[in-house]
Amino acid sequence: MLAQAANNAGLKPLVIDLFADLDTLAYATDFKQVPALTKEYLAPALDYFIEHHAVTDVIYGSGFEQHPESLCYLASRCTLLGNSAETFIRLQNKADFFAVLNRLTIPYPETAFVAPNNAQDWLIKPTQGQGGVGIQRYDANHKIDTAVYWQKYQAGSQHSVLFLANGQQLQVIGFNTQWTTRLSDREEFIFSGIINHCDLAEADKTQIIDWLIKLVPAFKLTGLNSLDFIHADGNSMVLEINPRPPASMQLYDADLLRRHINVGATLVAHPPPQSGYTGYQIVYAEQNV
């Protein structure tokens, strides 16, 4: 996604990637495939690009949720375009995140940091997750071997809002509807698709924009971000902030990555007019290919 966006913006993508899939390679000027985003693999790949391409700036995508030390290493060697490593890591601290929501009077589903006595209607979520991986219905008999928190299951329509921020102000790019798929009993909430169309009333959208006006300076959010939320019975509740260029950026105009790199000093919160809709669906293979 980022390689294509960079290419569309007239940049020369230099890519460090776990998969090195054909789509990514088609847009990459040069690439290094790594088996993991741990520092031991990331450091030599970064050294290569600094030596051969004099790289000074980095745009990062998903995957650093589980490797915050690697993001700090990137920040020590290059300029991160977008959120700082400190902001990214702070948003993985769910106790702090929900405490900020409380202080700002922003609603979210009932959340706990110790196992609830009654497992019914509770989800267990990894504190450093992405794309729905690791989210399960809570079963007290399941072994827990990663950092987690518990959140009450909330039925409703799933949405996100894509926005650009400069640490104090923001501009909403668009509201989206997204959905998940069930791959197995323990992979029931995997991100599966998204469309830049949202049936929420304008009053509901305005309320969410008001939340973002509070959240951007609270976390000093910079560049492209998205806020995930759920809507049910006329009410919205925040789930999380993705503090990096999210999947939904593919649904909008080609200059978004340039705007991520060069965020303006003044932003207008409400989104520009939208013409038409774009979406995509992820199809998961039943076996490795």
Question: If residue 133 lies in a helix (H) or strand (E), which one and from where to where?
Answer: none
Average pLDDT estimate for 127-135: 86
pLDDT of residue 140: 86
Distance CA 107, CA 227 (A): 13
Helix (H) or strand (E) holding 90: helix 85-92
Compute the distance between CA of residue 141 and CA of residue 147 in angstroms, rounded to an integer.
17
Q: Residue 162: pLDDT band by 50, 70, 90 thresholds?
A: very high
Q: Specify the pTM.
A: 0.94
pLDDT at 87: 98
pLDDT of 254 > 70? The answer is no
Average pLDDT for residues 271-279, to the nearest whole number?
Answer: 84
Domains, in order of start, for the chain: 2-88 (3.40.50.20), 93-281 (3.30.470.20)
Q: How confident is the model at residue 32 (pLDDT cuts 50, 70, 90)?
A: very high
Coil, helix or strand for 277? Answer: coil
pLDDT above 80 (res 266): no
Percent of the chain clearing pLDDT 90 (strictly above): 80
Provide the pLDDT confidence category of residue 272 given band limits of 50, 70 and 90. Answer: confident
- Rounded to the nearest 10 degrees, what angle do helices 39-53 and 68-77 cross at? 20
Which of left, alpha, beta for 91 (phi over 0: left; psi -120 to 50: alpha)?
A: alpha
Predicted pLDDT at 214: 98
Whole-number pLDDT of residue 274:
77
* Residue among 156, 121, 174 at smallest CA distance from 234: 156
- Whether 282 shows a pLDDT value over 80: the answer reads yes
pLDDT at 232 > cutoff 90: yes
Please state which of the ranges 51-55, 77-81, 114-118, 202-206 shows the lowest mean pLDDT. 114-118
**What number is the average pLDDT over the span 125-138?**
88
User: What are the pLDDT digits (tens) for 52-111?
Assistant: 999 999 999 999 999 999 999 999 999 999 999 999 999 999 999 999 999 999 999 999
Query: Which stretches within 93-194 are classed as H helix?
Result: 94-103
Mean pLDDT of the chain: 93
List residues bridging with 162 in a β-sheet: 174, 226
Q: What is the CA radius of gyration of the chain?
A: 19
What's the pLDDT band for 259 if we cut at 50, 70, 90? very high
